[in-house]
Structure 1
Amino acid sequence: MPFARLFLPSPIEDYALIGDCLTTALVSRDGSIDWLCWPTFDSDACFAAMLGTPEHGRWKIAPKDAAVTAKRAYRDGTLILETTFSCKSGTCTLIDFMPPRGEASDIVRLVRGDAGVVEMRMELLLRFGSGANVPWVRRLDDGTLQAVAGPDMVVLRSNVEMRGEGMTTVSDFKVHQGETYHYVMTYNPSHLPVPEAIDIEIALEETESFWTEWSSRCNFKGKHRDFIQRSLITLKAMTYAPTGGIVAAPTTSLPEKVGGARNWDYRFCWLRDATFTLLALIDSGYVEEAVAWHEWLLRSVAGAPADMQIMYSITGQRRLLEWQADWLPGYENSKPVRFGNAAHAQLQLDVYGELMDAFHQARVHKIQLNGETWPVETALLKHLAQVWMEPDCGIWERRDVPRHYVFSKVMCWVAFDRAVLAVEEFGRKRAGGGMARHPRRHPCRDLRQWLRCAGKYFRRSLWLEDAGCEPAVAARRGLSQAGRSAHHRHHRPRLNGA
């Protein structure tokens, strides 16, 4: 019996994440992969049911019995997901993971019989082009299924017999206690040969070893360490290993409010979001990720400081053209579904403060950065000196008229403050000429004047009388962030006073 076609996507909190540090998949509580962009975070999706229906692509493995309960957990310290299904006739466990990338990308799904016997069903609907393209599927001589659509190829191998039903690949099987069945799906560009099959046991062992070794390096010893470690693993899964870029999210167009239109594509590297992730990783002892991100940043922002964007692709690309997929109805009918993000061209002044604070924290933690870091910092600051009093789009990325935002002005203060610290506490060379000297354009001409006058300019930025200023809670957030990281003896009293 096929799974019911009446479909509502799972609540967001019911999706679990698996990944290989190049992309991620979202698995629902009922064993369905409803979202996967393959082979990278910003590729088109081949499973897009989360933003539509099963006909837009999904991969479900679950008991046929509708009266089933499901309990889920990750293996300790890993991104290996285990979902245990219990029904009247027995119990089985679905094990989902993505091995660290070899020559091709794999999703491994194992069904293990734990007690009694459970009747299972597998349904696969591959839809490339984010739900738009039905692939051509054929069976190879060894029983492997090959699906091709344009540049994309997926092969599926299993020890269970598979067949076609309409435009769906299905399996029906019974799993008894002690038995294990497997499905391994592998991606490769369609112009390349069919990839070799992996050794499943070795892949599971290597995946577990990869994650347990990484998570064991967490140096946090305080309360709720397990929760901290789980969050760090999730953050690690959001990094793109080849470049060090860190995506804001693996999804697009999940609405800020169900039924609303503020549905954006977050599969890119926001400088702001990445700095927050970076600080969490640094504070927990993960230096390699910090160095890799800084290297990605230097490559991405190369060029004129005025051209720095608030976000880039995982490889550092700048043009993130935004378009709408009108064939997808959206999560719980929240339209439009967008790919790309036009906000990449916005001016958001707070980004300068977050970047400079990230560089500052790297120095505090004695992380050895590329020697080109300080010249980049000073170039960005010279540009900020020209624009810090301009209205911007703010942290909310509003798409109407730019405004003066308290949070943005506070973070401009942070940017200059961290530059002072770099010179006075870490021996960086003072910036040369080229700084604007008009008092409305730049808060200081030299460090001594900055120490005398920073408080005045800081207070002035707080009380901008503009109808577009954000609520006081946002200003408090900016003050908190600025004060929490301010180490210079001259600065904290002024922050507290403000």
Structure 2
Amino acid sequence: MIQTLDLFPIGNCAASGLVDRHGRIVWGCVPRVDGDPFFSALLSDRDPADRDVHGLWAIEAEDHASTRQAYLRNTPIVRTEVTNKHGDSFEILDFCPRYRQFGRVYRPTAYIRLVRQITGAPRIRIRLRPTINWGEAPAKQTTGSNHIRYVGGPTTMRLTTNTSVSHITEERVFRLEEPIAMFLGPDEGFDADVMATSSRMLNETTDYWRGWVRTLSVPVEWQEAVIRSAITLKLCAYEETGAIVAALTTSIPEHAESGRNWDYRYCWLRDAYYVVQALTRLGAADMLENYLSYLRNLVDTEGGGPVQPVYGVGLEPGLVERFADALPGYRGMGPVRIGNQAHEHLQHDVYGQIILSTVQAFFDERLLRPATVEDFRDLEPVGERAYEMYATPDASLWEFRGREAIHTYSAVMCWAACDRLGNAAVQLGLLERAKYWNARADEMRAVIEERAYNPALGRFAATFDGDELDASLLQLVDVRFVAPSDPRMAATIEAVEKGLRRGPYMLRYALPDDFGEPKTAFNICTFWLIEALYLSGRAGEARELFEEMLTRRTAAGLLSEDISFDGNELWGNYPQTYSLVGLINCAALLSKPWAAVR
């Protein structure tokens, strides 16, 4: 059976994992999302059903016949129902515990699996085969009367269970006659009834997530899709620091044998900005507030100097790119990368994204910690950096590795930094600072309009004094640089659609880059097109294209970064925050209002 991205994420904002359509955990890193993959089978070229494969946790039925799978409503808890050829069946409930306890959130680096008989007496086999050092070897085992320790990697994990330990270590087939609880977590004693405690954790985790979903302001239409996207975006947060990762995986190629295999388990300031923007629109102020703590720490650390586009979840600046040679890669399509060279890039749009992420805190009274005058003073060096760099070359938001130019999107985001500082200054009553930042924004706007607009073509270009197209030009409306009714923008939208649309889907850009011509579409760009179509008065077309994108989600209701031109296969890292942001934003834009149904 070929590997696919038809996977169900589980997590608790500390631990995360991916469950395949047969109830096998095939990906999960410890001790945090950017750590060593304890479950690494997703990056194997072998079928997870192969008895020689390691890096997975399987619970299999003898004489397997069928599997059904779904999330428990409004949670990231996966229920897998397995039936054998004799009609015997059982269920697996997979989750990472998360709930409030002792005045704080309990979110250990832990995975819980509950296995329960439904009908008959199914015979099952449990294969728990973690790996260490990026797939170099199986983790070594030591056992006790009710636990197994997995050692040898950077983190020792302990499985506590109420079933026979030897059933698991010997991978023995046995009758499922009593419910089984398995708690895989830190190497600590489990001084409680594991079944009763795990069942309580299931109930409290269910209550937590359903309570969180109740705080969301969802549109009338497409609520299930929006809620699932919002939950998954929250799973991409590393709550201890406030970081938000771009995806939970590394090295899923952008298309077959492309070499475009990147590690996305880090915090891109751009991606995180789009995430908090989308979730704030839904009312999830907790995500914004926690991320702002991450940003404040980062701004303090950089002290007004250059800011990288990406950092580790613990604010680490050095993400040196290297290869995991022991892992063959998704479907054998290596290389498997650890780290990301983008930490070395100049990407000037980040200055805008820092300030755009922060500016709401000057206006939002819901926050436990509203932004202060001192926070504004701390942001001003970021604005100065934006002003200094806006008309200088960078690698662009698309992170070109072999060329630089003055990119319109980067320049406009720098303009937005200064423009929004002016807004914040007015809110704080700092009228002289507002005058200062507004003057800078006006100066920058004049230069951008002169150099990014190509009068011969009657539209904006992707680079200063150029004629290139890329989909980020559609974002000029979103940051309020140009109104959608502006003839220049209408011409730009028309040109971008004509030059970059492939069937229903959109490219980032069409020109060859360091790895050749793009061969898949970029999902967030299709959502940007949907927004542009709607704002241009083409609401019917926008709605039709949005419905098309909904049909391309996995069974979990999610999207990766890229999609084949025929729409039949998802590519790129998964779940991709960019893509889920696009889904949320478009649903909110296109949905009929609540007043229409009340």
TM-score by length of 1: 0.85
Match of 2:349 in 1: 350
**Distance in structure 1 (CA, Å) of the matches to 2:136 and 2:466:** 42
Q: 1:340 to 1:451 in 2, by over 3 A?
A: closer
Match of 1:58 in 2: 56
**Distance in structure 2 (CA, Å) of the matches to 1:92 and 1:465:** 55
Match of 1:292 in 2: 290
Instruction: Note the alpha carbon deviations across 1:199-249, whole angstroms, 9 max, x for none.
Output: 112111221122111111112242122221111111111111211111111
Match of 2:473 in 1: 476
Preserved contact between residue 347 and residue 395 of structure 2 (Cα < 8 Å): yes
**Distance in structure 2 (CA, Å) of the matches to 1:40 and 1:304:** 27
5 Å matches for 1:482-493?
482-483=479-480, 492=483
Q: 1:492 to 1:373 in 2, by over 3 A?
A: farther
Instruction: Please state whether the residue corresponding to 1:138 is helix, strand or coil.
Output: strand
CA displacement at 1:181 relative to structure 2: 2.1
Instruction: Quote the RMSD (CA, aligned, Å).
Output: 2.8
5 Å matches for 1:179-218?
179-188=178-187, 193-196=188-191, 198=194, 199-218=197-216
**Distance in structure 1 (CA, Å) of the matches to 2:324 and 2:444:** 51
Which residue, out of 405, 408, 414, partners 1:406? 408
Match of 1:128 in 2: 132
**Distance in structure 2 (CA, Å) of the matches to 1:215 and 1:274:** 20
Match of 2:74 in 1: 77
Preserved contact between residue 98 and residue 106 of structure 1 (Cα < 8 Å): yes
5 Å matches for 1:33-432?
33-52=25-44, 53=46, 55-66=53-64, 68-89=65-86, 90-100=88-98, 102=106, 104-140=108-144, 142-163=145-166, 169-175=170-176, 179-188=178-187, 193-196=188-191, 198=194, 199-302=197-300, 303-366=302-365, 367=367, 368-369=370-371, 371-424=373-426, 427-428=429-430, 430-431=432-433
Q: 1:169 to 1:378 in 2, by over 3 A?
A: farther
Q: 1:171 to 1:462 in 2, by over 3 A?
A: farther
Q: 1:104 to 1:273 in 2, by over 3 A?
A: closer
Instruction: Note the alpha carbon deviations across 1:153-192, whole angstroms, 9 max, x for none.
Output: 1222333324389xx652422235xx4222221233xxxx
Instruction: Note the alpha carbon deviations across 1:259-301, whole angstroms, 9 max, x for none.
Output: 1111111111110000111011211112122111111111023
Preserved contact between residue 81 and residue 92 of structure 2 (Cα < 8 Å): yes
Preserved contact between residue 419 and residue 438 of structure 2 (Cα < 8 Å): no
Q: 1:327 to 1:451 in 2, by over 3 A?
A: closer
Instruction: Please state whether the residue corresponding to 2:120 is helix, strand or coil.
Output: strand
Preserved contact between residue 409 and residue 462 of structure 1 (Cα < 8 Å): no
Preserved contact between residue 167 and residue 174 of structure 2 (Cα < 8 Å): no
**Distance in structure 1 (CA, Å) of the matches to 2:207 and 2:125:** 30
CA displacement at 1:426 relative to structure 2: 5.2
Q: Compare 115-124 and 96-105 and name the one that shifted more.
A: 96-105
Preserved contact between residue 307 and residue 351 of structure 2 (Cα < 8 Å): no
**Distance in structure 2 (CA, Å) of the matches to 1:221 and 1:474:** 26
Q: 1:244 to 1:399 in 2, by over 3 A?
A: same
Which residue, out of 2, 12, 15, partners 2:7? 15
**Distance in structure 2 (CA, Å) of the matches to 1:341 and 1:148:** 28
CA displacement at 1:356 relative to structure 2: 2.4
Where does the alignment leave 5 or more consecutive residues of structure 1 unmatched?
1-6, 433-443
CA displacement at 1:74 relative to structure 2: 1.1
Instruction: Note the alpha carbon deviations across 1:316-353, whole angstroms, 9 max, x for none.
Output: 11111211011111101221111011111211122222
CA displacement at 1:468 relative to structure 2: 11
Instruction: Please state whether the residue corresponding to 1:182 is helix, strand or coil.
Output: strand
CA displacement at 1:306 relative to structure 2: 2.3
Is 1:31 the counterpart of 2:33? The answer is no
Q: Compare 471-480 and 18-27 and name the one that shifted more.
A: 471-480
Q: 1:268 to 1:175 in 2, by over 3 A?
A: same
Q: 1:370 to 1:39 in 2, by over 3 A?
A: farther
Which residue type is aligned with residue 254 of structure 1? I
Where does the alignment leave 5 or more consecutive residues of structure 2 unmatched?
99-104, 455-460, 490-598
**Distance in structure 1 (CA, Å) of the matches to 2:208 and 2:364:** 25
Instruction: Note the alpha carbon deviations across 1:102-139, whole angstroms, 9 max, x for none.
Output: 48532111122222332211111111222113333122
**Distance in structure 1 (CA, Å) of the matches to 2:117 and 2:167:** 25
**Distance in structure 2 (CA, Å) of the matches to 1:493 and 1:396:** 24
**Distance in structure 2 (CA, Å) of the matches to 1:349 and 1:453:** 14
Instruction: Please state whether the residue corresponding to 1:353 is helix, strand or coil.
Output: helix
Q: 1:475 to 1:323 in 2, by over 3 A?
A: closer
Q: 1:25 to 1:471 in 2, by over 3 A?
A: farther
Preserved contact between residue 107 and residue 184 of structure 1 (Cα < 8 Å): yes
Q: Compare 95-104 and 219-228 and name the one that shifted more.
A: 95-104
Preserved contact between residue 295 and residue 354 of structure 2 (Cα < 8 Å): no
Preserved contact between residue 326 and residue 336 of structure 1 (Cα < 8 Å): yes
Which residue type is aligned with residue 383 of structure 1? R
Instruction: Note the alpha carbon deviations across 1:358-385, whole angstroms, 9 max, x for none.
Output: 2233445444125543123210111122
**Distance in structure 1 (CA, Å) of the matches to 2:266 and 2:211:** 27
Preserved contact between residue 326 and residue 337 of structure 1 (Cα < 8 Å): yes
Which residue, out of 439, 445, 453, partners 1:454? 445
**Distance in structure 1 (CA, Å) of the matches to 2:332 and 2:488:** 48
Which residue type is aligned with residue 143 of structure 2? R
**Distance in structure 2 (CA, Å) of the matches to 1:275 and 1:343:** 17
Instruction: Please state whether the residue corresponding to 1:369 is helix, strand or coil.
Output: coil
Q: 1:393 to 1:216 in 2, by over 3 A?
A: same
Which residue type is aligned with residue 36 of structure 1? G
**Distance in structure 2 (CA, Å) of the matches to 1:449 and 1:122:** 63
**Distance in structure 2 (CA, Å) of the matches to 1:57 and 1:264:** 20
CA displacement at 1:446 relative to structure 2: 6.3
**Distance in structure 1 (CA, Å) of the matches to 2:160 and 2:465:** 57
CA displacement at 1:91 relative to structure 2: 2.3
Preserved contact between residue 265 and residue 341 of structure 1 (Cα < 8 Å): yes
Preserved contact between residue 416 and residue 441 of structure 2 (Cα < 8 Å): no
Preserved contact between residue 69 and residue 81 of structure 2 (Cα < 8 Å): yes
**Distance in structure 1 (CA, Å) of the matches to 2:253 and 2:266:** 17
Instruction: Note the alpha carbon deviations across 1:397-440, whole angstroms, 9 max, x for none.
Output: 111121222222222222222223223455345449xxxxxxxx
Question: How many residues are paired up?
Answer: 463
Instruction: Please state whether the residue corresponding to 1:233 is helix, strand or coil.
Output: helix
TM-score by length of 2: 0.71
Higher relative contact order (CA 8 A, sep 6+): 2
Which residue type is aligned with residue 419 of structure 1? L
